[in-house]
Chains A and B, each alone.
Chain A
């Protein structure tokens, strides 16, 4: 392994895949959060984590 060249093939490739996958997953969970909030709002008129029968 070439020590002077710190950013070698393996490190670039691993960083690249990690960035792509991590980005995709974060996007996925953000979209999930958004659609969940929308759905809860649609169902209850406001964002509530659980259904309170007295208010609903």
Chain B
């Protein structure tokens, strides 16, 4: 009985476990201690030659990498808009949403990789500043939880069967969540520059 429940609801049960873990960690204030422990890592990023030092010494290189970061963000935006607005039934209504979900995902993965790589470089150049910014940590939180959402929950469900066998409200919920995640990541990212 327990075994069949475990094998039938692996994903849901792992989600519940993760949530419980987060609550326990929060109760023992692990998050705040991670914040304190990670300061040396940010100092290292700022002082390491290939990251922080190059980024601060060659201003034009830094700005160019920033531009690449922006461009990959644009491609993320394009793929997310195409796939999620289709799930919402706003554009591409004449093309099956399975095709768009699968067709844009590879491009999304590549551009997310590029933007994370360039983002690490950009953050390293100002690592001694972003460490103290609330908005930076919020961006990281949304980025990590959003990526987990897309790769471990949204994509597996959408790839598992034809979309007309999924509750339409689930599809809409997934699309709106994904749109708001990537909007928030981009908006908080822009705000890092203003803080």
With a cutoff of 8 Å between Cβ atoms, the chain B residues found around residue A12 in the complex are: 9, 11-12
Count B-side interface residues using an 8 Å CB cutoff.
31
B42 to chain A, nearest CB (A): 23
How many chain A residues touch B (CB < 8 A): the figure is 23
Q: Which residues of B contact A21 (CB under 8 A)?
A: 145-146, 149, 177, 181
Task: Please state if A18 and B153 are interface contacts (CB–CB under 8 Å).
Answer: yes
A13 touches B (CB below 8 Å):
yes
Least Cβ–Cβ distance between B182 and chain A, in angstroms: 11
Choose the segment among B62-70, B114-122, B161-169 that binds chain A (4+ C-beta atoms closer than 8 Å).
Answer: B161-169
Task: Say whether chain B's binding surface is mostly helix, strand, loop, or mixed.
Answer: helix
B180–chain A nearest beta-carbon distance, Å:
5
**Chain B residues numbered 1-47 whose CB sits less than 8 Å from any CB in chain A:** 8-12, 14-15, 19
B140 at the interface (CB under 8 A from A): no
A18 shortest CB reach to chain B, Å: 4
In A1-37, which residues have CB < 8 Å from any B CB?
1, 3, 6-22, 25-26, 28-29
A28→B153 contact, CB < 8 A: no
Q: How far is the CA of A29 from the CA of B12 in the complex (A)?
A: 27
Q: State the CA gap A15–B153 with chains docked (Å).
A: 8
Structural contact, B170 and A11, CB atoms closer than 8 A: yes
A20 to B138, CA, bound (A): 15
Which A residues fall within an 8 A CB radius of B?
1, 3, 6-22, 25-26, 28-29
B interface list, Cβ under 8 A from A: 8-12, 14-15, 19, 138, 142, 145-146, 148-149, 153-154, 156-157, 160-161, 165-167, 170, 173-174, 176-177, 180-181, 184
Give 30 A-B contacts (CB < 8 Å), ordered by A residue: A1-B160, A6-B167, A7-B167, A9-B10, A9-B11, A10-B11, A10-B153, A11-B170, A13-B12, A13-B157, A14-B153, A14-B170, A16-B12, A17-B15, A17-B149, A18-B173, A18-B174, A18-B177, A20-B19, A21-B145, A21-B149, A21-B177, A22-B173, A22-B180, A25-B142, A25-B177, A25-B181, A25-B184, A26-B180, A28-B184
